[in-house]
């Protein structure tokens, strides 16, 4: 089986973080676009999973009555989205012998890799999204609304004790469901 460039957990962390940042957008502000032809400008967004971010914004606008158009010439309103951050951080701590340890071979002197022997290990994965949205009239460029900073985040934490007891804590709903499904197949 070929391994993907990014793990399932990583993709779900980032998409959950995006969803949470957009959910903090003021419904009253979105309501000002109801019934108008809206063009989504992605000029100022170059980020991880930008297609998902733009698609989620499109869904949010459509579900609140905006008429999203694909061409700038057809628009009555323009919505610009920009990203300050949309990424992952992780940290790992091991009490014992970590997987990157080695000892010199007494005969050749070449390093010999040691297996990981962890008495206690923890891994923390965090995703954060910081975006902002501005809307203005297409012809006059008159300001309609600015969202201010919209923040979203998600976490996935793993703990292991003596290589036997493994715990996972996450606030990503899909990871919780997948954890339950995987238990049935063990």
Per-residue confidence at 185, pLDDT binned at 50, 70, 90? low
Q: CA-CA distances (angstroms) from residue 31 to 64, 66, 138?
A: 7, 8, 17
Q: What is the pLDDT of residues 97-143, one digit of tens each?
A: 777 777 777 778 788 877 777 889 999 999 999 999 999 999 999 99
CA dihedral (53, 77, 72, 132) positive or negative: negative
Instruction: Say if 1 falls within a structural domain.
Output: no
Instruction: Say if 3 falls within a structural domain.
Output: no
- pLDDT > 70? residue 35: yes
Instruction: Say if 2 falls within a structural domain.
Output: no
Residue 183 to residue 118: CA distance in whole angstroms: 23
| CATH code where residue 30 lies | 3.40.50
Instruction: Say if 102 falls within a structural domain.
Output: yes
Instruction: Say if 141 falls within a structural domain.
Output: yes
The residue that leads in pLDDT, 35 or 105, is 35
pTM listed for this prediction: 0.84
Percent of the chain with pLDDT over 90: 66
DSSP state of 76: S
Mean pLDDT score of the chain, rounded to an integer?
90
pLDDT of residue 111: 81
Instruction: Say if 96 falls within a structural domain.
Output: yes
pLDDT of residue 186: 55
Instruction: Say if 81 falls within a structural domain.
Output: yes
DSSP state of 20: H
- pLDDT > 90? residue 39: yes
Percent of the chain with pLDDT over 70: 97
Q: What is the pLDDT of residues 54-92, one digit of tens each?
A: 999 999 999 999 999 999 999 999 999 999 999 999 999
Domain membership of residue 143 as a residue range = 8-184
Question: How many domains, the chain?
Answer: 1
């Amino acid at each position: 089986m070929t391994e993907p460039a990014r793990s399932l957990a990583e993709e779900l962390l980032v998409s959950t973080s995006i969803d949470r940042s957009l959910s903090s957008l003021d419904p009253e502000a979105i309501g000002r676009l109801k019934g108008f032809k809206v063009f989504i400008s992605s000029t100022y967004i170059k980020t991880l999973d930008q297609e998902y971010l733009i698609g989620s914004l499109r869904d949010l606008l459509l579900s609140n009555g905006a008429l999203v158009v694909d061409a700038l010439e057809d628009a009555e309103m323009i919505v610009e989205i920009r990203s300050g951050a949309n990424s992952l951080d992780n940290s790992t701590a091991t009490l014992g012998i970590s997987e990157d340890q080695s000892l010199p071979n007494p005969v050749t002197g070449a390093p010999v890799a040691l297996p990981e022997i962890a008495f206690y290990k923890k891994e923390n994965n965090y995703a954060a999204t910081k975006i902002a949205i501005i809307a203005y009239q297409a012809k006059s460029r008159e300001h309609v609304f600015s969202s201010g900073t919209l923040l979203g985040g998600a976490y996935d934490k793993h703990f292991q004790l003596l290589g036997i007891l493994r715990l996972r804590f996450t606030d990503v709903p899909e990871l919780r469901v997948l954890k339950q499904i995987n238990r049935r197949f063990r």
